[in-house]
Structure 1
Amino acid sequence: MLKYLQVKNQVGDSADIHFYGDIVGSEWSKWDDTDKAPEDVLQALDEAKNASKLNIYINSAGGSVFAGLAMYNMLKRHQAHKTVYVDGVAGSIASIIAMAGDVINIPSNAFLMIHKPWNILQGNASDFRKMADDLDRIETGMLSVYQSKLAYGTTTEDIKTMLEAETWLDGKEAAKYFNVTVSDEVRYAASISDLSKYAKAPKALTAREPDNSKELEALRLQYELLTI
């Protein structure tokens, strides 16, 4: 199994899973071995099938909506008590994956980002109208996930407004809207692969270099070359 989505048994009843990289639909969709497909998660959870505690670490800018929803549902079905740690950002569909946690920890200098689903389409007017309807249905499904973690006083309309605006929430801000635990600032474990597609990505993320890791820097440069 890929080293970036590995399961580590600790004391027999606990396991760790890391989501570092983009969320993709299949093995064939991967640009980099940090990317995650549903089959990776299925294998990881099978390895952790006897765990009663599951620690989920996330540092991802998102990716495929349907792949992310599948990962969320896989995690939710697992019998273990799930604790999510947002190490840098849980962005886009990765924010949905984060909602699988029974407990969600976000450091004060890490981010949760939510936005409306979007797609690239070629076709005629009927195709575009159908896609708009499909995106609305997908958004409704995403809203149902966010609603399961709303903080007291937050409404569905609040979340809809934030989705419309592409909203970045640091740990303290996220706690105003979602049932998350805010922890102290931490040093980021790695850079995010590509935030250029997001209009409002915080400078704290876009300007950051990897944490003194030549290997991670090489992977980032490789990814950029492949996506020029």
Structure 2
Amino acid sequence: MTTIIRINAPIGEDIGELSAKWLQSQFPTDNSPIECRLHSPGGSVLEAFAMIDELKAYRGKKTAVVSAMAFSAASLLLSAFDEVEITPNGYVMIHQPHFEDDGPTRSERSFLGSLGGRMVGIYCEQTGKSADIIHRMMSEERYFDAEAAIDFGLADRVRTGLTTAVARVPQRVVAMAKAKETTTATQRWRAAVAEASKTMPRAKAMVYVDKTEPGLRRRMIEEANQ
């Protein structure tokens, strides 16, 4: 029997986040197949690395299903699975690592460079793309819908039939979005995340904005893929 594991929160060790220790506790003891359903905005890169190590150490068959989003650090997890599927509503996002506070020190900048290089290597190994292509994509903060994720090598096939579904965008929100023609959805989303990040970690700020601005992230993704 296949065990379903839902990675549906930010990655990290804080309250409300999912850690490598938590992930390891979800594994069946008989090494039977697992299916991890991802719907996460990302979070700590180091904790994602630890989760990758736990997944690679698990001896049973491992399948990932991107249901709605595997963004930032969450997208790194896809490299640790035997098969990666993505729902028609699924999106993957890759970008450069960063600290949550402004003005990193020289040592922190060096550390970010090391993290970024390791991330490039993970994506290269998974997709078969060159380091230059991956680095450029990460610098652009690139979003991939299901078809693009498969074409790029981040997923293997489309998965249908999941009971988990992405909520439809409320008509009121759509009307509001159309009325705001002076700024793009991407600009509004980034501004909202930046404002929320003043009082909370960035990963939590992304979740907060998703709750307070329903539908804005989806419109941003649609803009990015036009």
Tell me the TM-score normalised to structure 2 length.
0.70
Partner Cα distance (1:61, 1:122) in 2? 20
Q: Give the aligned residue type for 2:52.
A: Y
Structure 1 position 195, deviation (Å): 5.7
| Alignment correspondent of 2:8 | 20
| Residue 126 of structure 2 is aligned to residue 138 of structure 1 | no
Partner Cα distance (2:8, 2:101) in 1? 28
Structure-to-structure mapping, 1:1-228, within 5 angstroms: 11=1, 14-24=2-12, 26=13, 29-30=14-15, 32=16, 35-45=17-27, 48-121=28-101, 128-151=105-128, 154-178=129-153, 180-183=155-158, 189=165, 193-194=207-208, 201-203=217-219
Partner Cα distance (2:220, 2:89) in 1? 9
For structure 1, the 5+ residue unaligned runs are 1-10, 207-228
Provide the aligned length of Structure 1 versus Structure 2: 178
Structure 1 position 86, deviation (Å): 0.3
Q: 4+ residue stretches of structure 1 with deviation over 6 A? A: none
Structure 1 position 38, deviation (Å): 2.0
Choose between structure 1 and 2: higher helix proportion: 2
Match of 1:149, SS state, is: helix
Partner Cα distance (1:88, 1:180) in 2? 13
Q: Give the aligned residue type for 1:71.
A: M
Q: Give the aligned residue type for 2:121.
A: S
Partner Cα distance (1:66, 1:120) in 2? 14
For structure 2, the 5+ residue unaligned runs are 168-205, 211-215
| Alignment correspondent of 2:189 | none
Match of 1:89, SS state, is: strand
Contact 2:88 / 2:146 at 8 angstroms: preserved in 1? yes
Tell me the TM-score normalised to structure 1 length.
0.69
Match of 1:148, SS state, is: helix
**1:156-185 superposed Cα distances (whole Å, 9 cap, x missing partner):** 211110100111101111122215223166
Partner Cα distance (2:120, 2:34) in 1? 24
Structure 1 position 60, deviation (Å): 0.2
**1:68-98 superposed Cα distances (whole Å, 9 cap, x missing partner):** 1101110111001111000110000000112
| Alignment correspondent of 2:178 | none
Contact 1:58 / 1:98 at 8 angstroms: preserved in 2? no
Partner Cα distance (2:88, 2:63) in 1? 17
Partner Cα distance (1:161, 1:60) in 2? 23
For the aligned residues, what is the CA RMSD? 2.6
Partner Cα distance (2:145, 2:209) in 1? 16
Q: Give the aligned residue type for 2:143.
A: W
Contact 1:104 / 1:179 at 8 angstroms: preserved in 2? yes
Which range moves more in the overlay, 65-74 or 176-185? Answer: 176-185
